[in-house]
């Protein structure tokens, strides 16, 4: 049986009249990457801060490594790595010295610490930047330094909050590959992001939270089944009228049709010849398009269907 690394049971956190987290229960298992997702204000960050004992919660229980997590659970905290979205490094220290400082909070033996620092630098691809200061680094390199500082002591449980925000594709690939290596090396990872394609690539299991409750959980493939959409067809076309859009909405098996001025997206509940029907409709109505393609629903479709499309604060 797979060992439970985190056990959250009936967690509730209240702020006066607001329940930010409402009797939340879930487990995180050994050597898995768990994607913890939710729109802004869903209770996701509050949940993580409660797990880390950075917030006092109203009721429920939290265990890490089988032991109750408390503010003074220092032995547990020594096994944790926490990388928040905001980069937290010392501007007056070089890349190497930053990693050395944070690793030194946990590892006092100098030879072991040097080995750990070397591993963290290789994992994050910072070999050529060890003598650089943070102000000399690009956004992607800063993110990688932030991760190196958080994982240099080889924690058993790692929390990663939006680690790829505003980085270039090359840095993003490096970070994602590094996270896989951490998991392969024995770490358990809780990963939060708004980039659904990252979750599909990376996470073994996903939990979606909204209004302080779990509204869905499972693998990427099992969650896609919740979308109740078999196919999405996208047509790149300009000048589509409201009248034409309304006619498309009445197509057999169509669940929804949306148009943003450049792309028409039609979602289907079922059917095997949907793209042929659209091509015929475009031809019969003398509508010129530049591109048309079909795809399966994505995790982003599931997320929007479950949490809604309205903007959140």
Among candidate residues 171, 167, 190, the one with its CA nearest the CA of residue 82: 190
Q: Within this chain, do residues 73 and 115 fall inside the same structural domain, yes or no?
A: yes
Q: Which residues 6+ apart lie within 8 Å of 123 measured at CB?
A: 148, 151, 178, 181, 182
Q: What CATH number is attached to the domain comprising 8?
A: 3.40.50.300
Q: Within this chain, do residues 109 and 165 fall inside the same structural domain, yes or no?
A: yes
Q: Within this chain, do residues 145 and 24 fall inside the same structural domain, yes or no?
A: yes
pLDDT at 270 over 90: no
Q: Within this chain, do residues 207 and 249 fall inside the same structural domain, yes or no?
A: no
| CA 265 – CA 258 distance, rounded (Å) | 5
Q: Within this chain, do residues 99 and 192 fall inside the same structural domain, yes or no?
A: yes
pLDDT at 311 over 70: no
Helix residue ranges per DSSP H, the chain: 44-51, 74-77, 95-104, 110-124, 139-151, 169-184, 196-202, 220-224, 242-249, 274-284, 299-307
Q: For residue 17, is it within any domain?
A: yes
Residues recorded for the chain: 313
pLDDT, one tens digit per residue, over 159-177 is 999 998 888 888 889 999 9
Q: Within this chain, do residues 258 and 288 fall inside the same structural domain, yes or no?
A: yes
pLDDT (mean) for 74-100: 95
Q: For residue 309, is it within any domain?
A: no
Q: Within this chain, do residues 211 and 238 fall inside the same structural domain, yes or no?
A: no
Q: Give the pLDDT score at 309.
A: 66
Q: For residue 127, is it within any domain?
A: yes
Instruction: Classify 289 as helix, strand or coil.
Output: coil
Q: For residue 312, is it within any domain?
A: no
pLDDT at 275 over 80: yes
Mean residue pLDDT across the chain: 93
Q: Within this chain, do residues 265 and 167 fall inside the same structural domain, yes or no?
A: no
Helix residue ranges per DSSP H, 11-65: 44-51
Q: Within this chain, do residues 81 and 212 fall inside the same structural domain, yes or no?
A: yes
Q: For residue 162, is it within any domain?
A: yes
Q: Within this chain, do residues 13 and 60 fall inside the same structural domain, yes or no?
A: yes
Domain boundary among 189, 210, 225: 225
Q: What is the pTM of this model?
A: 0.86
Domain boundary among 172, 199, 225: 225
pLDDT at 300 over 90: no
Q: Within this chain, do residues 54 and 105 fall inside the same structural domain, yes or no?
A: yes
Treating both helix axes as pointing N-terminal to C-terminal, what angle do 242-249 and 274-284 enclose, rounded to 10 degrees? 150
pLDDT (mean) for 233-240: 95
- Provide the greatest CA pair distance for the chain: 76
Q: Give the pLDDT score at 313.
A: 60
Q: For residue 302, is it within any domain?
A: no
How many separate domains does the chain show? 2
| CA 163 – CA 174 distance, rounded (Å) | 11
Range of the domain at 68: 4-225
Residue 36 or 229, more confident? 36
Q: For residue 305, is it within any domain?
A: no
Q: For residue 13, is it within any domain?
A: yes
Q: Within this chain, do residues 203 and 276 fall inside the same structural domain, yes or no?
A: no
Q: Which two tokens stand for residue 162?
A: 């939006």
Q: Give the pLDDT score at 302.
A: 84
Q: What CATH number is attached to the domain comprising 283?
A: 3.30.70.980
Chain-centroid distance, C-alpha 293: 27
Domain boundary among 170, 193, 225: 225
């Amino acid at each position: 049986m797979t060992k439970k690394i985190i056990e959250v049971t009936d967690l509730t956190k209240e702020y006066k009249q607001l329940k930010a987290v409402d009797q939340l229960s879930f487990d995180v298992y050994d050597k898995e990457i768990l994607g913890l997702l939710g729109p802004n204000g869903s209770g996701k960050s509050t949940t993580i801060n409660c797990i880390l004992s950075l917030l006092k919660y109203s009721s429920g229980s939290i265990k890490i490594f089988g032991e109750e997590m408390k503010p003074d659970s220092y032995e547990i905290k020594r096994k944790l790595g926490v990388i928040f979205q905001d980069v937290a490094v010392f501007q007056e220290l070089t890349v190497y010295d930053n990693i050395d400082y944070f690793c030194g909070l946990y590892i006092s033996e100098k030879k072991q610490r040097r080995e750990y620092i070397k591993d963290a630098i290789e994992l994050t691809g910072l070999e050529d930047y060890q003598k650089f200061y943070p102000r000399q680094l690009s956004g992607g390199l800063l993110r990688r330094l932030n991760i190196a500082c958080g994982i240099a002591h080889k924690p058993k449980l790692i929390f990663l909050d939006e680690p790829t925000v505003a980085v270039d594709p090359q840095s993003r690939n490096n970070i994602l590959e590094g996270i896989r290596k951490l998991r392969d090396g024995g770490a358990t990872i809780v990963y939060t992001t708004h980039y659904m394609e990252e979750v599909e690539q990376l996470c073994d299991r996903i939990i979606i939270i909204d209004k302080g409750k779990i509204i869905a959980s499972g693998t990427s493939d099992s969650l896609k089944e919740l979308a109740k959409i078999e196919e999405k067809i996208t047509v790149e076309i300009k000048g589509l009228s409201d009248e034409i859009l309304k006619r498309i909405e009445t197509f057999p098996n169509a669940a929804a049709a949306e148009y943003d001025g450049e792309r028409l997206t039609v979602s289907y509940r079922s059917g095997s010849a949907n793209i042929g029907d659209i091509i015929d409709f475009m031809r019969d109505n003398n509508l010129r398009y530049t591109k048309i393609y079909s795809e399966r629903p994505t995790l982003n479709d599931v997320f929007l269907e479950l949490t809604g499309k309205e903007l959140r604060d």
